[in-house]
Amino acid sequence: MAATTTYLTGIQTSGEPHIGNYVGAIKPALAAVESHDTKYFLADYHSLNAVKDPEKLRHDVRSVAAAWLACGLDPARTLIYRQSSIPEVFELMVILTNVTAKGLMNRSHAYKAARDRNEAAGASDLDGGVNMGLFNYPILMAADILVMETDYVPVGRDQQQHIEYTADIAKAFNHHYGEHYAFPIPQGVYPEGESSVLPGIDGRKMSKSYDNHIPMFLPENRLKKLVRRIPTDSTPVEAPKDPDTSSVFQLLRQFASEDQAAATRKRLEAGGMGWGELKNELFEVLNATFGPMRERYTELMEPGSALDGILAEGAERARERSRATLAKVRAAVGID
C-alpha cells in the first residue's frame, strides 16, 4: 500500500472503550497513521440505531473520541471527525439507495439475524422490531466509505460482509455512471490470527455484550478490584501452572514487555508463583499502561476541553474531501 492510499474506518460509539478495543482497534489504528493517509470517524448515526437515550449517545461520542485522542491519536497527522458532521454522507446514501438491490439488503447478516430471532420466538411478523435504520445500515456504511474515496478499510472479520456490500454498491454505481465518475473499489483489511483477540475476565473474548470487559479508564482502585475478581482455579502457590490456559497471563502478555512476560512465564511454569501475585503484576502493568492515558482522557472529557475544537477542525477538513466527491457524484448522476 502506497502512502497516498486512503485508509478509513468508522468507530461505533456505543459504550465506553475497553482494553480489548485498545488491542484490537486503537493500537493498530495508531500504527497505521505512520504509513497511510488515515481517516477515523465516530459513527454516531450508526449508533443511533442501538442507542435511543440522547444523554447516553452524547456521552458515548465524547468518550470514544476522548479515548482515541488520549491513546495518542494525533489530529495533526490523521483525520478524526464525527459522521454526523458530514452532510454529504447522508446525501450520498440517498443516491446509493437507487443503485442498491433490495435483495442484497435482505441477505445482510444483521437483518437476517433479527428475522431468525423472530422466527425462533414464533413471531408471526418476521420483520417485527426491525426498523429501516437497521435495514439500511449497510448503505450508510457504504456512503461513509465511498464519500472519502477510500481504498482500504481496516475492520474486524464481523464487518467483512459490510465491506463486500460496499464494493458491490460501488460497482453498481460505476456500472451506471462509470463514464462520468467511478468510485475506487474499497477492500477490507482484517486482523490475522487469534493473537489480537483479548480474553475477558471470564476467559471468553472480551466484549461489552458479555460484560466481561476491563474498561480502559477505570480509576486505579476499581481497576485493582476488577483484576482481583478474575476467576482462577485452586492450584496451590507452589504448584507449576500453565500460562497458556490462564486468562490473567494472556492479559499480562499483551501489555507487559517481552522480557517481563518471559520471566513471568518461567516463574509460573516452575511453580512458586501464586495467582494472587500474578494478578498484582497484571494490575501494575495495566495501571502503568493506562494511567497516563486516563489523566489525558479525564481532561478531554471536561466540558470546554480541546475535544470540541479538534472534532470541529476534523469535520472541516473531512468536508473538503466529501464536498469534492459529492460534486463529482452529483454531476455524474445529473443532479447539478
* List of residues contacting ligand ADP (CB under 6 A): 12, 20-21, 23-25, 156, 196-198, 205-209, 213
Residue with CB nearest ligand ADP? 24
- The answer to whether 190 touches 157, Cβ cutoff 8 Å, is yes
- Minimum distance, C-beta of residue 188 to ligand TRP, in the bound complex (Å): 9
Degrees (nearest 5) of the Cα angle 209, 215, 219? 150
Which residue's CB is nearer to ligand TRP, number 163 or number 230?
Answer: 163
Question: What residue 46 binds from ligand ADP, ligand TRP, none (CB within 5 to 8 A, per partner kind)?
Answer: ligand TRP
Q: Which regions of 117-173 does DSSP assign to beta strands (E)? A: 152-154
- Minimum distance, C-beta of residue 28 to ligand ADP, in the bound complex (Å): 9
State the sign of the Cα–Cα–Cα–Cα dihedral 72, 74, 78, 84: positive
Which residue's CB is nearer to ligand TRP, number 154 or number 199?
Answer: 154
Which residue's CB is nearer to ligand ADP, number 177 or number 290?
Answer: 290
- Minimum distance, C-beta of residue 60 to ligand ADP, in the bound complex (Å): 11
3-state DSSP assignment of residue 205: strand
Which residue's CB is nearer to ligand TRP, number 198 or number 223?
Answer: 198
A 10 A CB-CB count for 335 gives 10
Phi and psi for 275 in degrees, rounded to 5? -65, -35
- Minimum distance, C-beta of residue 1 to ligand TRP, in the bound complex (Å): 17
Which residue's CB is nearer to ligand TRP, number 110 or number 126?
Answer: 110
Phi and psi for 199 in degrees, rounded to 5? -75, 155
Q: For residues 311 and 98, give the distance between their C-alpha atoms in angstroms, rounded to a whole number.
A: 31
Residues near ligand TRP (CB under 6 A) are 9-10, 12, 43, 46, 141, 144-145, 153, 155, 159, 162
- Minimum distance, C-beta of residue 64 to ligand TRP, in the bound complex (Å): 11
Which candidate, 152, 135, 127, 109, places its Cα nearest to that of 6? Answer: 152
Question: What residue 230 binds from ligand ADP, ligand TRP, none (CB within 5 to 8 A, per partner kind)?
Answer: none
- The answer to whether 247 touches 203, Cβ cutoff 8 Å, is yes
